[in-house]
């Protein structure tokens, strides 16, 4: 297999300044709706990048669970690697790769912990099996085998077989408040269209085209 020969042209669409909304949240909502309407697999999936105390970046894929004028929301175990890294450095980067539409969005911002009320509301909306899995998994920490994990799941399932599953003390969420957002549309001959929104001191957004 010759990796250097794997390539394709990007010919679906173009992107110009006059097609963009005045703010990145409105523009993202439009593109997300188009991704959903196109029936892409996991249109809300995003790569979340954090950095540890040694400057080592790490990434993982999580699902976007809410979006409003404040930013992008996801939920996680607060004892996980990403949460521990965010506790030391709340700067974060999100990446939405919508390959079939030849688009991607990159969000730069800071992670702000959500209130317990917001976290509880979301947790109670999850399927019960997912709630139980949150209790069973010591996220990011070693486990000797899948059998051990499934045994813990069974134990928790039996424990909470009656009534609601309570919110774990180690479960939380973050709102990613953006200060830069890039929208990328593939172009022919690798001349892609890229626009960067940058938040100004007065709360407005400046938009500029970037070289591909």
C-beta separation of 194 from 182 below 8 A? yes
Distance CA 160, CA 155 (A): 9
C-beta separation of 191 from 124 below 8 A? no
CA 25 to chain centre: 14
Judge whether 190 counts as a catalytic residue: yes
173-199 burial, b at 16+ Cβ within 10 Å, e below that, comes to: bbbbbbeebbbbbbbeeeebbbbbbbb
3-state secondary structure of 74: strand
Active-site pick, 60, 81, 126, 190:
190
> In sequence order, which residues have a C-beta less than 8 Å from that of residue 164 and are 6 or more positions away?
124
Distance CA 185, CA 193 (A): 5
Beta bridge partners of 191: none
> In sequence order, which residues have a C-beta less than 8 Å from that of residue 146 and are 6 or more positions away?
none
**Which tokens in the block code for residue 57?**
């970046």
C-beta separation of 118 from 173 below 8 A? yes
- Active-site positions read 190
């Amino acid at each position: 297999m010759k990796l250097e020969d794997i390539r394709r042209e990007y010919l679906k669409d173009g992107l110009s300044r006059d097609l963009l909304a005045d703010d990145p949240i409105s523009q993202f909502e439009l593109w997300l709706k188009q991704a959903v309407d196109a029936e892409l697999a996991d249109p809300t999936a995003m790569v979340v990048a954090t950095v540890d105390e040694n400057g080592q970046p790490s990434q993982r894929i999580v699902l976007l669970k809410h979006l409003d004028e404040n930013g992008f929301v996801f939920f996680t175990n607060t004892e996980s690697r990403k949460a521990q890294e965010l506790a030391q450095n709340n700067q974060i980067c999100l990446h939405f790769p919508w390959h079939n539409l030849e688009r991607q969005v990159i969000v730069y911002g800071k992670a702000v912990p959500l209130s317990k009320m917001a976290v509880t509301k979301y947790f109670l909306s999850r399927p019960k099996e997912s709630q139980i899995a949150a209790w069973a998994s010591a996220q990011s920490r070693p486990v000797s085998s899948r059998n051990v994990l499934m045994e813990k799941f069974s134990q928790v399932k039996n424990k909470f077989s009656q009534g609601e599953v309570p919110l774990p003390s180690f479960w939380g969420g973050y709102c990613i408040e953006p200060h830069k957002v890039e929208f990328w549309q593939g172009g022919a001959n690798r001349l892609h269209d890229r626009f960067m929104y940058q938040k100004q001191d007065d709360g407005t957004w400046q938009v500029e085209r970037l070289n591909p």
